[in-house]
A and B are shown apart, each in its own frame.
Chain A
Amino acid sequence: MTDKSFVIHVCGGPYVSLAPLSALRFTKAALAAGHTIQRVFFYQEGVALANALSCPPQDEINLTKAWQAIAAEHQLELSVCVAAALKRGIVDAKEAARFGLAHHNLAEGFVLTGLGQLVDGMANADRTVTFS
């Protein structure tokens, strides 16, 4: 089989859906099979993965850290829709300054971007797989 490039589009949030975990497992399997992950894009409730302040119990998987680890290992881009993130309280230092907020919480390794990154990914990758 020829290697393919994928965009992973995560719409479902942690704890309300299995989407972030399924997406993570799919990403690992695709990489293990020699495919390329062009970009991971977090939209809708999926932006909650980028919250550095989430503290699940220690005997449960920490999905934010799991995504950070796989991104660091394979140099994956973790793009987060800025509009979806802002309204759900996920902000980086720059947006916190812009909105006069006292804190910011975007987890390391994630970057706030626009929907154009998803559109660009869909246009250029072989497949876009949505997890919602």
Chain B
Amino acid sequence: MNTSSTFDLLVIFTQPPLTASFPKEALDLALVNSTFEQRTGLIFLGAGVLQLVQNQQPNVLALKGTQAMLKALALYDIDQVFVEEQALLDYSLTTAALLLPVASCNTAKLQQFIANSRNIITF
């Protein structure tokens, strides 16, 4: 394992909520990765930030959604969660309006995380 990298796995979320199985399968991977004591970071880019909007009602569409899983991230020791600053602006959101604690990052900071991660998988 390369200890010089920030994350063993960086999972990047780019799809809006309820987009097929992308959000769920991305979270499954992040959770398993953390269970194996691998350092895990999450980045929500573009429309991906919409996955973090509070009070969604996926049950109206007979869907399960991922809000419960997202709220459980801390239980899996995943607390490195970042959102793209520009995406918050694009969707008129603030970090306070999201359903879990996240850090808003500019493009340069996100590039740094990507450059310093051992593995990156984008969903």
Contacts and interface: CB of A to CB of B under 8 A. Distances in A.
Partners in one complex: yes
B32 A44 contact: no
Nearest to A125: B119
Interface string B15-31: 00000011001001100
Contact of B8 (A84, A114, A122, A130): A122
Interface centre among A44, A87, A119, A120 (most CB of B within 10 A): A119
Interface in A96-132: 114-116, 118-120, 122-123, 128, 130, 132
Given A44-B21, A122-B9, A115 B28 contact: yes
A71 interface: no
Given A84-B25, A123-B1, A9 B121 contact: yes
> Chain B interface mostly helix, strand, loop or mixed?
mixed
B29 A115 contact: yes
Interface residues of B, number: 17
30 contacts: A9-B121, A43-B25, A43-B29, A44-B21, A44-B25, A83-B28, A84-B21, A87-B21, A114-B32, A115-B28, A115-B32, A116-B32, A116-B35, A118-B29, A119-B9, A119-B29, A119-B32, A119-B36, A119-B38, A120-B36, A122-B8, A122-B33, A122-B38, A122-B118, A122-B119, A123-B1, A123-B36, A123-B38, A128-B121, A130-B121
